[in-house]
Amino acid sequence: MTGKAAHGAAHLGDFTVRPRMLKVTLWSLPVGGAGAVAALALLRLIGLVTNLVFYQRWNASLTAPGGVHHPWWLVLGAPVAGGLVVGLMARYGSEKIRGHGMPEAIEAILTGGSKVSPKVALLKPVSAAVSIGTGGPFGAEGPIIMTGGAIGSMLAQFLRLTADERKTLLVAGAAAGMAATFDSPLAAVLLAVELLLFEWRPRSFVPVAASVAVATVCRGFLLGTAPVFPVPVTGLHVGAAAEALATVTGLTGGALAVGATWLVYRAEDGFSKLPVHWMWWPAIGGAVIGLGGLAEPRALGVGYDVIGQLLTGRATLSLIVGILVVKTLIWALSLGSGTSGGVLAPVFMIGGALGAWEGMLFPRVVPGFWAMCGLAAVVGGVMRSPLTGVVFTLELTHAWGALLPLLISSTAAYALSALVLRRSVLTEKIARRGLHLTREYSTDPLETFFVHEVMRPAPVTLAADDEVDEELLARLERDPAGRRQAHYPVIGRGGPVGVTSLRRLREHTASVVRPLRAAHAARPLVAAVRPHQTLREVAYLFAEHRLSSAPVLDDERRVVGLITLPDLLHARLHDLTEEHHRQRILPSPDIVTVIPAVARRTGNRVRR
């Protein structure tokens, strides 16, 4: 963005966005507190269902199946029963509870005006608790994103807010729930920016950060402030060899992410071909979960305890292999059935298992170091959010000294996933619903050009009292400038009064009004632009008033130019040229070596 354009955008934001931003920020504070309470309630509900089903006790503490030996019929039957309950809730309650939460939140933002119904806010956490509590290999973060987002959306629907402001409060609630679940404020904000906001503006960033801050403070009172997965970092020193090997972990994590993403959507394709109603699919997915649980019971449930073992180097080889194989398969296959549950915790576990397995081959750094690298890599590859993967890992473990290798691993996985797959596990579902979604952020080319750079200077103008006759039309048609000019500003005593065109002038020559003046054949002037406005402002002006051209006026309201819709494409053409046009700026190597030699010889001749 050029300096003047940036200044203009900031100036516009100061006077039009600031009051609205402050208002939405104030409303985001209670949303953050409610998101933290909702996160605690969901975690307690998951713990309650898990304890009732697998341990037959009334206890709301978060636990996981597999801590003791369970009867085979319970391991096999509980996920099936849970899937059946979720299917019934989706069919007779709301179909929007299906899925892992984040694509549904994105869809609500893109197509639903950021409106989430109260029914979804209630049914989504209940269905997730049933799904995870009966053995589903999912995480709580997807449902809490949807639930926290629903809290923000419902508040915004109650207030008199715009769709953009509803989106901000929806994302504020979603990020608050995420921050409260994992005690990860910065990762929650990054997740909001990389996945949900689709913009980087103060009007949305500030309220989301405020909501996350409140949720994190509340989490400290509700669940404590200790890291979720504390890693011993005494003696952590990462050398060049470990940083190089982090690339290997990143590439293998990216390959695993590609395979898991592919498997999720092949499973979804397979379920869509079944000759039964989709209500039964979660139960069939539950049967897959149960079979996997018979092979590796620790793969069932949310699995925070297993993640802790992987990240602290206490996992055995059998557990690592079991999680890497069984968890990946049952998570991907059952997620394709459309049941309710999140993706982050399973991705944490799968990535941690991959890194822990590689850590048995790589040089030892500290316990759990390679598991952290694998976790960051698979998050970066599956979700296509490399910065979120890095910061999540750091905030979960407080192993701040591992920043660089985590960045290397996550970026390598992200690069491989972007090269191999067109879309991530989140955006593929959106694309399958007929929506186009891009997560690439760049400066708007329309914001980098001013009107005076693309306008047509000194256009042909008509006086309001000019008589429209065959002589005038012939003169405009003969004039070279007239042939290139589609519209003509019409000037009155106090300045421009309208805009007309050759076609409009010809149509009005058949009018019974005589004499016909140029003002009669002009549409009223509803908008004019200034030379130092950006093309983005002009595009919004054209869209608001349905214009295809406008005169450009100086401070004395004199017409100094004309801007039309095709002129706006100049910025896009410039952007396209910068992306695809290749040229050599510096001289080629042979010229670089020849010129100094010639100069030396020439200089010697002069000195002689």
Q: Which residue's structure tokens are 């608790």?
A: 129
Q: Which letter does DSSP use for residue 454 in this model?
A: H
Does residue 514 surpass a pLDDT of 90? no
Give pLDDT, residue 319.
93
Q: Tell me the mean pLDDT in the region 275-301.
A: 93
Per-residue confidence (pLDDT) for residue 9, from 0 to 100: 40
pLDDT given at position 237: 83
pLDDT in tens, 178-188: 999 889 999 99
Mean pLDDT of 572-588: 73
More confident residue, 529 or 98: 529
- Taken in order of first residue, the domains within the chain and their CATH numbers are 16-222 (1.10.3080.10), 240-279+296-432 (1.10.3080.10), 445-579 (3.10.580.10)
Lowest model confidence (mean pLDDT) among 79-93, 162-176, 332-346, 348-362? 332-346
pLDDT of residue 486: 77
pLDDT at residue number 12 = 43
User: pLDDT band at 330, cuts 50/70/90?
Assistant: very high
Phi-psi region of 523 (alpha: psi -120 to 50; beta: other; left: phi over 0): beta
The enclosing H or E element of 7 equals: helix 3-16
Length of the chain: 608
In this predicted model, what pLDDT tens digit does every residue of 351-396 receive, in sequence order? Answer: 999 999 999 999 988 889 999 999 999 999 988 888 988 999 999 9
Distances in whole angstroms, Cα of residue 457 to Cα of each of 387, 481, 570: 47, 11, 15
Nearest by Cα to 409 from 245, 188, 194, 238: 245
Is residue 419 a contact partner of residue 91, using CB atoms and an 8 Å limit?
A: no
pLDDT of residue 13: 42
| pLDDT, position 326 | 94
- Non-local (6+) Cβ contacts of 571 within 8 A are 445, 446, 448, 449, 454, 535
**What's the chain's average pLDDT?**
84
**Is residue 605's pLDDT more than 70?**
no
In the predicted model, what is the mean pLDDT of residues 278-305?
92
Q: Is 531:554 a contact under the CB 8 Å cutoff?
A: yes
Least confident of 45-54, 187-196, 266-275, 439-448: 439-448
Q: What share of the chain is helix, strand, coil (3-state, %, to 5)?
A: 65, 5, 25
Mean pLDDT of 476-493: 73
Over pLDDT 90: what percentage of the chain? 38
- For residues 199 and 246, give the distance between their C-alpha atoms in angstroms, rounded to a whole number: 31
Pairing label, strands 495-501, 523-524: antiparallel
Residues 6+ apart with CB under 8 A from 322: 295, 296, 298, 299
**Parallel, antiparallel, or unpaired for β 487-492 and 462-463?**
parallel
pLDDT band at 255 (very low <50, low <70, confident <90, very high): very high
Cis peptide before 515 (omega within 30 of 0): yes
pLDDT at residue 530 above 50? yes
- Write down the pLDDT at residue 606: 39
pLDDT at 580 over 50: yes
- Crossing angle of helices 118-133 and 72-92, rounded to 10°: 170
> Average of pLDDT values for 582-594?
63
Find how far residue 73's CA is from the centre of its chain: 42
Q: Which two tokens stand for residue 294?
A: 């018979």
Residue 101 backbone class (left: φ over 0; alpha: ψ -120 to 50; beta: rest):
left
> What is the pLDDT, as a whole number, of residue 511?
63
Cα–Cα distance, 70 to 214 (Å, whole number): 41
| pLDDT at residue 161 tops 50 | yes
User: Does pLDDT of 2 surpass 50?
Assistant: no
Q: Please report the pLDDT score of residue 505 as a whole number.
A: 81
At 17 the pLDDT is 58
Task: Read off the pLDDT of each residue in 251-263 and give the average, rounded to a whole number.
Answer: 93
If one compares 49 and 146, the residue with the highest pLDDT of the two is 49
Mean pLDDT of the 527-541 span: 90
Q: Residue 75 and residue 134: Cα distance in Å, rounded?
A: 9
Whether residue 92 has pLDDT greater than 80: yes
- Is the confidence at residue 228, as pLDDT, over 50? yes
The confidence band for 608, taking pLDDT boundaries of 50, 70 and 90, is very low
Structure confidence by residue, pLDDT tens digits, 405-458 = 999 999 999 999 989 987 777 767 666 666 656 656 667 778 888 999 889 888
Backbone angles phi and psi of 95, in degrees to 5: -65, -20
> Which pLDDT band, with edges at 50, 70 and 90, does 589 fall under?
low
